[in-house]
């Protein structure tokens, strides 16, 4: 009996070792297969644009679509195995002859990126015309190349079909630039200076879509249209300096809209007349002139016809989560302080106090 038991144990051990061996061999073969080059004889360069904010999974999916790796899931596992949780955003020149390790090392270290790649930083609170000037400076495009692309309604219609947040409202003939307020400010990398206006525009719109997803539920309620929310956010961008005071400012705007008052926002008047905020005071005539952007005009009792600048996440948060308050007026001094009042008399008194203290903005 003892011998039989020993034989059974030996047999079980042999079977276990055999199965384990086969498993290890298959795992090793699979690992080598997934980690080896897609085509070790390939010399062609494949451009891979890894954008800021992309996850390891998204990068793996992109590499698989480009034919550089066999499995995005294995790429994700491989990054964890090699403690490479931070993959650097850049435009890389990769090849199918590269191993998984070579590809990961390249992206993890930021080496071997395209030498012709350029970085452009688009700032919040800027107008489309500012962006066009920047693109002219940093690329081989002219200011007119950018503006003509942005004002091409047939092109805009294709974008409306592509992006859920762009609606027919941007095609309003009274709007100066259809994409004003929709190009998200951030630092972007492009393949080289020959990048086209459309490539730039759609890269910024892709980023806008990522940002807006977090606010989609609130942006699609019945209080305002998405376009109106973007317009409000653009006003908050220029009127406020941080999320907290922007929430108060949006609260003031909402109160005035409910009461049937004009919004009285100076920044919209500057945009209406396409003047710089640093150019000094506008005239009484300009403030009083009706313009679909000028919310200072007494008979302009609605939001401006469209956004007036690029917007940050801070302004989006403020616009979708405004402070419920009882103020109808606000005024800022040159030190960045913002004062809120309930009546016009209080507002005028506070403005005079700021002037008397020598802290008036202009």
pLDDT in tens, the chain (362 residues): 556 666 666 667 666 666 665 655 655 565 567 778 999 888 888 888 888 778 888 999 999 999 999 988 888 888 888 777 667 778 888 999 999 888 888 888 766 666 788 889 999 999 999 999 999 999 999 999 999 999 999 999 999 999 999 999 999 999 999 999 999 999 888 889 999 999 999 999 999 999 999 999 999 988 899 999 999 999 999 999 999 999 999 999 999 999 999 999 999 999 999 999 887 778 999 999 999 999 999 999 999 999 999 999 999 999 999 999 999 999 999 888 999 999 999 999 999 999 999 988 76
- Beta-bridged to residue 330, according to DSSP, are 340
String of DSSP letters for 109-155: HTTTB-TT-EEEEPPTT--HHHHHHHHHHHSS--HHHHHHHHT-HHH
Q: What is the DSSP string of 17-50?
A: HHHHHHHHHHHHHHHHHHHS-S-TT----EEEEE
Cα dihedral across residues 305, 308, 312, 314: positive or negative: negative
Q: Is the dihedral of CA 162, 164, 169, 174 positive or negative?
A: negative
Would you list the DSSP string of 66-112?
Answer: TTS-S-HHHHHHHHHHTT------EEEEE-TTS-HHHHHHHHHHTTT
CA atoms within 13 A on the CB side of 273: 22
SS3 8: helix
**Nearest-10 Cα torsion for 143, 283, 336, 260:** -100
Instruction: Answer whether 0.85 is exceeded by the pTM.
Output: no
Structure tokens at 124: 């919040």
Q: What is the pLDDT of residue 74?
A: 86
Dihedral sign of CA atoms 344, 349, 354, 355 in order: positive
Place of tokens 């999916």: 61
pLDDT given for residue 26 in this prediction: 53
The set of residues, in sequence order, having a beta carbon less than 8 Å from that of 272 and lying 6+ positions away, is 286, 289, 291, 292, 293, 294, 304
CA torsion, ordered 195, 201, 206, 208, to nearest 10 deg: 140
Nearby residues of 114 by Cβ (< 8 Å), 6 or more positions away = 47, 90, 91, 92, 93, 191, 192
Predicted pLDDT at 317: 97
Q: What phi and psi values does residue 183 have, to the nearest 5 degrees?
A: -95, 110
C-alpha span between 12 and 308 (Å, rounded): 77
How many Å is the Cα radius of gyration of the chain? 29
């Amino acid at each position: 009996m003892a011998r039989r038991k020993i034989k059974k144990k030996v047999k079980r051990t042999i079977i276990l070792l055999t199965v384990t061996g086969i498993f290890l061999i298959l795992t090793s073969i699979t690992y080598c297969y997934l980690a080896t080059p897609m085509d070790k004889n390939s010399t062609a360069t494949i451009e891979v644009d890894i954008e800021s904010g992309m996850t390891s999974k998204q990068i793996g999916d992109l590499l698989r679509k480009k034919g550089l790796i066999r499995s995005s899931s294995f790429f994700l596992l491989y990054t964890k195995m090699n403690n490479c949780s931070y993959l650097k955003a850049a435009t890389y020149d990769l090849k199918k002859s590269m191993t998984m390790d070579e590809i990961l090392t390249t992206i993890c270290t930021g080496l071997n990126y395209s030498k012709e790649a350029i970085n452009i930083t688009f700032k919040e609170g800027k107008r489309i015309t500012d962006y066009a000037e920047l693109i002219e400076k940093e690329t081989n495009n002219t200011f007119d190349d950018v503006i003509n692309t942005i004002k091409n309604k047939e092109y805009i219609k294709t974008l409306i079909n592509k992006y859920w947040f762009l609606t027919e409202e941007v095609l309003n003939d009274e709007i100066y630039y259809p994409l004003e307020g929709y190009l998200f400010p951030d630092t972007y990398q492009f393949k080289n200076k020959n990048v086209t206006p459309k490539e730039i525009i759609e890269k910024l719109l892709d980023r806008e879509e990522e940002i807006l997803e977090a606010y989609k539920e609130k942006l699609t309620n019945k209080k305002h249209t998405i376009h109106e929310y973007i317009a409000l956010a653009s006003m908050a961008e220029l009127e406020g300096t941080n999320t907290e005071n922007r929430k108060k400012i949006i609260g003031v705007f909402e109160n005035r809209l409910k009461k049937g008052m004009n919004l009285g926002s100076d920044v919209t008047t500057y945009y209406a007349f396409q003047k710089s905020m640093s150019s000094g005071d506008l005239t009484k005539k300009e403030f009083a002139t009706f313009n679909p952007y000028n919310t200072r005009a007494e008979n302009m009792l609605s939001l401006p016809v469209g956004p007036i600048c690029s917007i940050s996440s801070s302004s989006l948060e403020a616009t979708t989560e405004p402070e419920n308050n009882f103020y109808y007026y606000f005024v800022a001094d040159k030190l960045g302080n913002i004062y809120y009042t309930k009546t016009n008399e209080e507002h005028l008194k506070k403005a005079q106090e700021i002037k008397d203290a020598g802290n008036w903005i202009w």
